[in-house]
Chain A
Amino acid sequence: MGQLVRRPEGLIGVVILTIFFVLAVVPVLFVGPLQTAVTATGSRLEAPSAAHIFGTDELGRDMLNLTVHGARISLSIGLLATFVTVALGVVVGIVAGFVGGFADSGLMRVTDFFLVIPTFVLALILTPIIQDVVGSAATEVFGIRMSLVVIIFVIGITSWSSTARIIRSQTLSLRERAFVDRARVVGSSNGHIMRRHILPNVINLIVANAVLTFAGAVLLETTLSFVGLGDPFQPSWGQTLEAARAVGAPGLGDWWYFGPPGVCIILVVLAFTLVGNALDDILNPKRRERR
């Protein structure tokens, strides 16, 4: 962390992310509860004014309110999707790298398949079908609506392959180290060695990878919401952008409708990329020379 904030690009990233995470944790503190068509405080598509500094949407909802609450929704989906992605990738990577042989070649064939298939296209066809199967009714899991839970899992199962590749190659080199041999000599099982000896040694790599995965997850969620797979009752930034496009905001000149959520997406993805690259530089000395 100390090394991270000493790099200018790392510091900028950390500051931006801190601000957005505070907004995401306690949005009510800043802008009150999420406005709905019923509780909207303005009229249709008002331009920014003193009362609504970011203007209003077509339902008269305050854009500042929507944008701040959007941070909570977008970042929650991003965080959970990152968790699913990284967990899958780490398990596949460690097992493939450590067990080797048939398990390795089998798992890597699957990984290669997911690497070559365009993530977004696969997510695009999986999401509506799974949403139809589970029924995107009003059921909620931990306060997240079902259709968004589906998006989280779809992002997870479509994005894990590059993490698995990275973790596997690191595991391959760890496997040959003396401490692994020693653990084996004292009779530790494979599962124990993977959990207690391999996993702690790839944690750094996992963290750096998770940060970059987060950026990708936020972008993927935004794009899926933009093509109409999000949930209007829990508007993420992507969902708000979709609504803005649907009413033709860019063509009407209503820049305030898509400007605030758009800028937020760019800032968050940019910040994650900056932090991720900085972490990569710190943890991976080989990369440093090249830049």
Chain B
Amino acid sequence: MKVGYLGRRLASAFVTILLIALINFLLFRAMPGSPERILMRNTPNVTEEMKQAARVRWGLDKPVFPDQLIAYFQSTARGDLGFSFAARGAPVLDVISARIWPTIILFGLGELLAIIGGLALGAYTGWKRGGWVDQVGNGVSLVLYATPYFLLGMAFLLIFGLALRWFPTYGMLTAGAQYHSIWDRAADFGSHLVLPLVVVAIGLIGQYAIIMRSSIIETLSEEYVTTARAMGLRDSRVLRHHALPNALLPTVSLIAINLGYIVAGAITLEVVFNWPGLGTLTVEALTARDYPVLQGVFLLLCVSVVLANLAADLVYAMLDPRVRT
């Protein structure tokens, strides 16, 4: 049974990734103008011979199906995502990997903070349902849900960056700064990180709190909790040993599903703070209509979301035998 479940999940994730790659392939073919024209768009006085040479060089003289499609899948599997239009023909993979770490640091840390804070808040408000923390928390979560990330970012930038001057507001490091030691550098990085990090954490915390709250409330009506109470266990013990472990389950899949939303937030928020990550890269590529980079980012983001969902399913199945059917 277990192997069957695992196999089905893996197969479905694999098919999804193939479909994403196929969409990517088709989109490039759907664009107006022939591909060789797009490739040589900055070259003046293109002759027919040059066009023909480019067609042979890029394999465009072969039929779209199956030759070009197979060649595309092969090179994508090798990590060859083509060349950027804007960054003077640098490989897309290099362009992306130069920008990936700032995003992973910012959103990895932000997600971690939000998970810890959100789960704690949700557990508390669910436990003390109707208390003042619960009521205020509900209202705030609702407003935050309606607030786009970048708007929150702009407000924070104005208040804490400009009005109070607590933190720098632009980029990841002070431009042109000389550092005496690695610690100076780290401190500068840290002060630039604070504002966007707080916005990420605040933006996400509400969703985790809401799901944890309803999960705790649902768990509290289970018979094993009633039993634990009837046994005369203290409240804190019932919460920690009986309600919490079970209520944590649904949050596992939420963390993976959230990755898709985080991505949207990442792109817009990085632009507000000029954080040099994948988000600003995406907007730069959009402005320059640098399609190879856009497609590389699309592929990377979609595949990570699919893999995160797969991981969540597998972890869930490990924790809860009931779904392994």
Chain A interface residues toward B at CB < 8 A: 112-113, 116-122, 124-126, 128-129, 132-133, 135, 215, 219, 222-223, 226-229, 241, 244-245, 249-253, 255, 258, 262, 265-267, 269-270, 273-274, 290
CB distance from A147 to the nearest CB of B (A): 13
Taking a contact as CB atoms closer than 8 A, the residue among A116, A120, A124, A290 that contacts B16 in the complex is A116
Taking a contact as CB atoms closer than 8 A, the residue among B146, B150, B155, B301 that contacts A121 in the complex is B301
| Contact yes or no, B282 A133, CB < 8 A | no
Chain B interface residues toward A at CB < 8 A: 12, 16, 19-20, 27, 30-32, 142-143, 145-148, 150-151, 154-155, 157-158, 161-163, 169-170, 214, 217-218, 259-261, 263-264, 267-268, 271-272, 282-283, 286-287, 289, 291, 294-295, 298, 301-302, 305-306, 309
Take A118-B261, A223-B264, A251-B161 as given contacts and tell me if A266 and B294 are in contact as well, using a CB distance cutoff of 8 Å.
no
Q: List 10 A-B contacts (CB under 8 A).
A: A117-B302, A124-B267, A125-B27, A125-B298, A128-B286, A251-B161, A252-B162, A258-B151, A265-B151, A267-B146
CB distance from A202 to the nearest CB of B (A): 25
CB distance from A220 to the nearest CB of B (A): 8
Tell me, in angstroms, the Cα distance from A4 to B259 when the chains sit together. 34
Take A116-B16, A251-B169 as given contacts and tell me if A290 and B264 are in contact as well, using a CB distance cutoff of 8 Å.
no
The dominant DSSP class at the B interface is helix
Take A118-B264, A250-B154 as given contacts and tell me if A290 and B214 are in contact as well, using a CB distance cutoff of 8 Å.
yes
| Contact yes or no, B27 A227, CB < 8 A | no
The dominant DSSP class at the A interface is helix
Q: Which residues of B contact A121 (CB under 8 A)?
A: 260, 263-264, 298, 301-302, 305
Take A133-B32, A253-B162 as given contacts and tell me if A245 and B151 are in contact as well, using a CB distance cutoff of 8 Å.
no
CB distance from A245 to the nearest CB of B (A): 6
Tell me, in angstroms, the Cα distance from A229 to B16 when the chains sit together. 27
Tell me, in angstroms, the Cα distance from A215 to B143 when the chains sit together. 13
Tell me, in angstroms, the Cα distance from A68 to B259 when the chains sit together. 34
Q: Which residues of A contact B305 (CB under 8 A)?
A: 116-118, 121
Q: Which residues of B contact A116 (CB under 8 A)?
A: 16, 305-306, 309
Taking a contact as CB atoms closer than 8 A, the residue among B16, B30, B145, B155 that contacts A133 in the complex is B30
CB distance from B237 to the nearest CB of A (A): 25
Closest 3 CB pairs of A and B: A118-B260, A120-B264, A269-B146
Tell me, in angstroms, the Cα distance from A129 to B55 when the chains sit together. 22
Residue of B nearest to A238 (CB): B148
Q: Which residues of A contact B283 (CB under 8 A)?
A: 227-228
